[in-house]
Amino acid sequence: MIIQLPNGRIIECSVEQYLSLSDDEINDLNGLGGVYTKEVGNPFYNQFSGTQEKESDEDPERIIEDSRSLDEIESSEKLEDPYFHPDDV
């Protein structure tokens, strides 16, 4: 869990550690020095995925969305769709 302090610096701790802190201990975090905190200018710091992958236009499994509604699509075209369900017709 990332906690941003009022001075703009951040600290990282687990959710269990954060929930075990009292109100006074949370206020005392403001006095932590630069050794224990980080200065972060990137708003996307430490995202869940760990790496950022760009979507490739050449990905063969990429699904291309169709903006037409279901009743505007021909029945034969629905049958050729790999994600066809019998209820679609």
> What is the Cα–Cα distance from 1 to 13, expressed in whole angstroms?
5
Is residue 13 very low, low, confident or very high in pLDDT (cuts 50, 70, 90)? confident
Identify the pLDDT of residue 80.
Answer: 80
Element spanning 11, H or E: strand 10-12
- How many other C-beta atoms are found inside a 10 Å radius of the C-beta of residue 81? 11
- What average pLDDT does the chain have? 75
> What is the Cα–Cα distance from 56 to 60, expressed in whole angstroms?
9
- Helices (H), strands (E): how many in the chain? 3, 2
Identify the pLDDT of residue 75.
Answer: 81
How much is the average pLDDT of 5-21? Answer: 87
Write out pLDDT tens, residues 36-71.
787 776 666 666 655 555 555 566 666 667 778 778
Identify the pLDDT of residue 20.
Answer: 93
